[in-house]
């Protein structure tokens, strides 16, 4: 009888102790699915890999935004003047890039041909050149302009009465600056060649310049 009473009082204590047993206290294999540390390591690895994926996606976004074809601008300098004693033909494609709303820059090439005749002489000029250019817009409708360029010019002067011919050729640098108005993607500026070279293709003093980009 005493043994039964002893077991009756001991049984609740054993049951309470059994409820505190968890998988933490059970020794299992490291690869056993019941090993909670196995799941924790998996979560840590997943979290560790997330920054690299985010970094890769942000890098790709920066690379795709480095060059935007929609910001390319194309224009041309055209010259055409014909008369009995004067001919002027010119073509100069220009390519620019609109970096932001304040600045556009680019480069171009050009070829000009001029022929003029007087009673005594006939003059023929050929020009092949390359240039850089930049437009700065302090406000939306105002434009400041700069264009350094290097031109190769070869000329031929013929005396009509005797047929005597004099030729001249060489490099001619120019540095054109200007300012004026911006109308959409067109510009009307008052320009000046700072170099003022003797054989410069630009007029002496100030002159009006018109350009358009599309």
Rg over CA atoms, the chain:
41
Mean pLDDT of all residues in 192-204: 89
* pLDDT at res. 204: 87
Beta strands at 142-159 and 103-117: parallel, antiparallel or unpaired: unpaired
Place of tokens 């480095």: 66
Per DSSP, the three-state class of 59 is helix
Q: Which of 11, 47, 4 is nearest to 39 (CA)?
A: 47
Q: Which of 155, 150, 153, 151 is nearest to 116 (CA)?
A: 155
Those residues whose C-beta lies under 8 Å from the C-beta of residue 134, and which sit 6 or more positions away, are: 103, 104, 105, 106, 145, 146, 147
* pLDDT at res. 40: 57
Q: Is the pLDDT of residue 72 over 90?
A: yes
Is the model's pTM score more than 0.75?
no
- Six-digit token string for 180: 């004026």
- Whether the CB-CB separation of 187 and 210 falls below 8 Å is answered with yes
Q: pLDDT confidence of 43, banded at 50, 70, 90? A: low
Q: What are the CA-CA distances from residue 11 to residues 5, 19, 56 (Å)?
A: 10, 13, 61
pLDDT digits (tens, 9 = 90+) for 44-59: 455 445 555 555 555 4
Q: Is the pLDDT of residue 150 over 60?
A: yes
Q: pLDDT confidence of 23, banded at 50, 70, 90? A: very low
> Other C-beta atoms within 10 Å of 85: how many?
10
pLDDT digits (tens, 9 = 90+) for 88-142: 899 999 999 999 999 999 999 999 999 998 888 899 999 999 999 999 999 999 9
> Following DSSP, what letter does each residue of 16-33 receive, concatenated?
HHHHT--GGGS---TT-T
- Six-digit token string for 182: 């911006």
Mean pLDDT of all residues in 48-73: 64
Strand boundaries in 31-141, DSSP class E? 72-82, 86-100, 103-117, 121-136
pLDDT cut 70: percent of the chain above it? 70
């Amino acid at each position: 009888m005493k043994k039964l009473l002893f077991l009756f009082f001991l049984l609740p204590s054993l049951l309470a102790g059994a409820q505190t047993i968890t998988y933490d206290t059970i020794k299992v294999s490291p690869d056993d699915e019941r090993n909670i540390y196995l799941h924790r390591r998996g979560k840590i690895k997943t979290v560790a890999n997330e920054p690299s994926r985010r970094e890769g996606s942000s890098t790709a976004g920066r690379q795709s935004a480095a060059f935007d074809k929609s910001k390319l601008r194309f224009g041309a300098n055209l010259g055409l003047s014909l008369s009995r004693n004067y001919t002027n033909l010119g073509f100069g494609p220009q390519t620019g890039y609109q970096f932001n709303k304040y600045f556009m820059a680019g480069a171009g090439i050009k070829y000009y041909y001029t022929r003029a005749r007087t009673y005594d002489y006939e003059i023929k000029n050929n020009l092949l050149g390359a240039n850089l250019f930049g437009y700065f817009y302090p406000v939306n409708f105002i434009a400041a302009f700069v264009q350094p360029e290097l031109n190769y010019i070869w000329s031929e002067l013929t005396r009509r009465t005797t047929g005597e011919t004099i030729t001249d050729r060489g490099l001619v640098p120019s540095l054109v600056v200007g300012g004026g108005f911006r109308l959409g993607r067109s510009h009307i500026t008052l320009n000046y060649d700072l170099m003022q070279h003797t054989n410069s293709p630009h007029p002496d003093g100030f002159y009006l310049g018109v350009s358009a980009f599309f």
